[in-house]
Amino acid sequence: MKMRLKVCLSALLLMVQTAWAGDVLVAVAANFAGPMEKIAVAFEQATGHKASVATGATGKFYAQIKNGAPFEVLLAADSETPKKLQDEGLGVPGSAFTYAQGSLVLWSATPGFVDSEGAVLKQGGFKHLAICNPKLAPYGQAAVETLKALNLYGSLSPKFVLAENVAQAHQFTASGNAELGFVALSQIAPPGKTIEGSYWLVPSNLYAPILQDTILLKKGEGNPAALALMKFLKSEAAKAIILSYGYRL
């Protein structure tokens, strides 16, 4: 009886393994959800491997990975998280690199609301300004740095509504509940679409560069699909997709 159970279990395990062969489980920062969808398609066409993508806040992924989540590759919204994972033995040493550099925009769903100089921040005339929680998200940190550089942080902080990640900041602003918000350029400028509403591309000297790093996680070390994805992120095909969303490299 015990023997039979063992056989059954190992057969089951084998089935699970074959089902996953060629698959790589990727955790992706919310701001990179759009480009990653396209990269996954191109990746499957080029290599035959399939990338299963989970999107969310980088901080949450960090906590989950620390507690045994099965992710094999992380595309973070910052460079600190991959570094921390490597130091803690959860990432493969030397595998991290910057796959994209993010751009911060001040955006409103209303056309003409945000001028091309961002003067609307000084003029006021709005009740809510959506930003990501700076404790959790690099785009939130960049927004705070920008406001501090403009000497507006103190006067505007009572108007903040804090989003859990950049996707929620976009949602607060897109629904019009916050008149304007700091979001990622990649969210409002998907290739082939005209930008809705109005925006100010925040000059990059107002905030520290948003370097988005990826790292191969220990769970993916022995998975050829994970290794292939890391390589594919550096390919010209992937770079073209990343640039088309307004990221810099």
- Give me the residues that bind another protein (CB under 8 A), please: 57, 59-60, 62-63, 127-128, 130, 133, 135-136, 160-164, 168, 171-172, 175-178
What number of other Cβ atoms are within 10 A of residue 5's Cβ?
9
- Report, in Å, the least distance between residue 146 CB and another protein: 19
C-beta closer to another protein: residue 64 or 235: 64
C-beta closer to another protein: residue 174 or 185: 174
- Report, in Å, the least distance between residue 107 CB and another protein: 16
- Report, in Å, the least distance between residue 57 CB and another protein: 7
- Report, in Å, the least distance between residue 123 CB and another protein: 19
C-beta closer to another protein: residue 23 or 196: 196
**Nearest by Cα to 134 from 162, 157, 96:** 162
- Report, in Å, the least distance between residue 197 CB and another protein: 13
CA distance 31 to 75: 10
Is-contact 96 186, C-beta < 8 A?
no
| Rama region for 124: left / alpha / beta (φ>0; ψ in -120 to 50; rest) | left
* Beta-bridge partners for 199: 107
CA distance 120 to 197: 14
Sign, Cα dihedral of 111, 116, 121, 124: negative
Residue position matching structure tokens 């520290």: 208
C-beta closer to another protein: residue 77 or 242: 77
C-beta closer to another protein: residue 14 or 63: 63
